[in-house]
C-alpha cells in the first residue's frame, strides 16, 4: 500500500480548511538520511553563499550540516546544524538548510532541540537558533516579501542579554540602514539544555484566513495578521548563526554550538491542531514513511534560493 493511501484514514479526522480530506497535501521529513548527499537529493539545499544574516565576513559552510544518530535503540536520525566562532568574522562558520519555495497557507511544524550552552568553548556568544519560512527580499521594502520566523536567543542579542524565543511575522524590511515592519512576540523562557536529553520542543504555525497563530509545545503564544500576513510562496528553512555586534573577544579555542531537528511537517491549506500534528507524525512513522512530498511546485515554478 502506498504512503498516500496509508495517510487517508488519519486525515479524515483532521480539521480542514477545504471540504475534502483527500485533498490534503503533506510535506514531511524525519531526516533519516545516510548522509547529506541523500538529503540534497530530496530537494534540500545546504547554504554556501555569504551574506545576511549573521557576522560580516562569516562563512556559510555546507560542512556545518550533518545527519546523525540520536543514540536511542530505535535508531532515529537527526538533522544537525553546527555553528562556531573564534570571535572574528573570518573565524566564524554558520549553518543554513533550505527546502523548495512552494509553501504558503496551512500548518507548519517542527520538533527541534535548542541548546543554551556551547558543546565546546566558553559560553556567551549571541547564538540564534531558528525555524522559518521566507521569500526572497528583491529590494528594500519589497511589498511581496514574506517571512514567518521562529528564533531562539539563548544568550540574548540585539541590545538585550535576555534569553527569549521570538515569533515574528514580517511585512517587509530594509537591511541597511535597518528598518523593519513586522509583528513580534517575545517569550522569555529558557528552552535549551546542554546534556542533549532535554531541550526538545515542537514549534508550530497555523497560517489561514489572514491570521498566523504561533504555538510552543501545544500552547498558543500569539496571533498575528493584517499587513504582516504572508502573500507569496516561501521556502522552509533552518539556520544557526550569530547576532552581529555581540561576539565575545577573540579566542584560540572556537565556541561551537549545535541545533538538532527531529522532523518537519507542512500541511498545505490545512489547519491542524498541535495534537493532530503529533498524531500525523506518529502515523507516518508507524507506516515507515521517512519522507513525503505531496506539495506541488509553485506555478510558475519559483527559484529556490538559500541565501537569506
- Taking residues 160-174, report their average pLDDT: 96
Give phi and psi for 62, each to the nearest 5: -60, -30
- Examine residue 234 and state whether it is found in any structural domain, yes or no: yes
Q: Are 17 and 26 in contact (CB under 8 A)?
A: no
- Examine residue 299 and state whether it is found in any structural domain, yes or no: no
Query: Residue 164 is placed in which grid cell?
Result: 527569549
Our count of domains for the chain comes to 1
Q: Is the pLDDT of residue 73 over 70?
A: no
Looking at residue 148, which CATH number applies to its domain? 2.60.120.200
Element (H, E) at 97: strand 92-103
| Selection from 302, 132, 297 nearest residue 212 by Cα | 132
- Taking residues 130-159, report their average pLDDT: 96
Residue 258: C-alpha distances to residues 48, 246, 253, 263 (Å): 18, 19, 16, 16
- Examine residue 302 and state whether it is found in any structural domain, yes or no: no
Structural domain range at position 192: 3-293
- Examine residue 298 and state whether it is found in any structural domain, yes or no: no
- Examine residue 261 and state whether it is found in any structural domain, yes or no: yes
- Taking residues 7-17, report their average pLDDT: 40
The CB density around residue 111, as the number of other CB atoms within 10 Å, is: 22
Per-residue pLDDT band at 53 (split at 50, 70, 90): very high
Query: 148 forms bridges with which residues in the sheet?
Result: 133, 169
pLDDT confidence of residue 91: 97
- Examine residue 308 and state whether it is found in any structural domain, yes or no: no
C-alpha of 255 from chain center: 22
The CB density around residue 231, as the number of other CB atoms within 10 Å, is: 14
pTM to 2 decimals?
0.91
CA 263 – CA 159 distance, rounded (Å): 32
Give me the residue label for grid cell 528552552: 191
Per-residue pLDDT tens for 278-299? 999 999 999 999 999 999 999 9
Query: 45 forms bridges with which residues in the sheet?
Result: 98
Query: 160 forms bridges with which residues in the sheet?
Result: 157
CA 272 – CA 205 distance, rounded (Å): 9
Q: Are 77 and 32 in contact (CB under 8 A)?
A: yes
Element (H, E) at 38: helix 36-41
Amino acid at each position: 500500500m502506498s504512503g498516500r493511501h496509508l495517510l487517508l484514514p488519519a486525515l479524515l479526522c483532521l480539521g480542514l480548511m477545504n471540504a475534502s480530506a483527500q485533498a490534503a497535501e503533506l510535506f514531511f521529513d524525519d531526516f533519516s538520511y545516510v548522509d547529506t548527499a541523500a538529503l540534497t537529493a530530496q530537494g534540500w539545499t545546504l547554504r554556501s553563499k555569504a551574506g545576511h544574516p549573521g557576522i560580516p565576513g562569516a562563512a556559510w559552510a555546507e560542512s556545518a550540516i550533518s545527519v546523525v544518530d540520536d543514540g536511542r535503540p530505535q535508531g532515529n536520525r537527526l538533522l544537525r546544524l553546527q555553528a562556531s566562532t573564534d570571535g572574528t568574522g573570518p573565524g566564524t562558520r554558520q549553518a543554513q538548510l533550505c527546502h523548495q519555495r512552494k509553501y504558503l497557507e496551512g500548518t507548519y511544524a517542527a520538533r527541534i532541540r535548542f541548546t543554551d550552552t556551547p558543546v565546546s568553548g566558553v559560553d556567551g556568544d549571541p547564538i540564534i537558533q531558528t525555524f522559518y519560512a521566507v521569500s526572497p527580499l528583491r529590494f528594500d521594502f519589497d511589498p511581496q516579501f514574506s517571512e514567518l520566523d521562529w528564533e531562539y536567543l539563548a544568550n540574548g542579542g540585539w541590545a538585550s542579554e535576555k534569553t527569549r524565543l521570538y515569533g515574528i511575522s514580517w511585512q517587509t524590511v530594509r537591511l541597511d540602514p535597518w528598518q523593519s515592519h513586522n509583528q513580534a512576540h517575545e517569550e522569555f523562557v529558557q528552552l535549551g539544555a546542554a546534556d542533549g536529553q532535554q531541550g526538545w520542543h515542537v514549534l508550530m504555525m497555523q497560517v489561514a484566513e489572514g491570521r498566523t497563530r504561533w504555538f510552543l509545545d501545544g500552547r498558543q503564544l500569539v496571533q498575528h495578521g493584517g499587513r504582516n500576513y504572508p502573500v507569496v510562496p516561501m521556502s522552509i528553512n533552518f539556520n544557526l548563526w550569530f547576532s552581529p555586534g555581540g561576539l565575545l573577544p577573540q579566542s584560540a579555542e572556537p565556541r561551537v554550538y549545535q541545533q538538532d531537528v527531529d522532523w518537519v511537517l507542512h500541511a498545505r491549506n490545512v489547519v491542524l491542531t498541535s495534537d493532530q500534528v503529533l498524531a500525523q507524525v506518529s502515523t507516518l512513522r508507524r507506516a515507515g514513511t521517512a519522507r513525503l512530498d505531496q506539495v506541488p511546485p509553485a506555478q510558475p515554478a519559483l527559484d529556490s534560493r538559500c541565501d537569506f
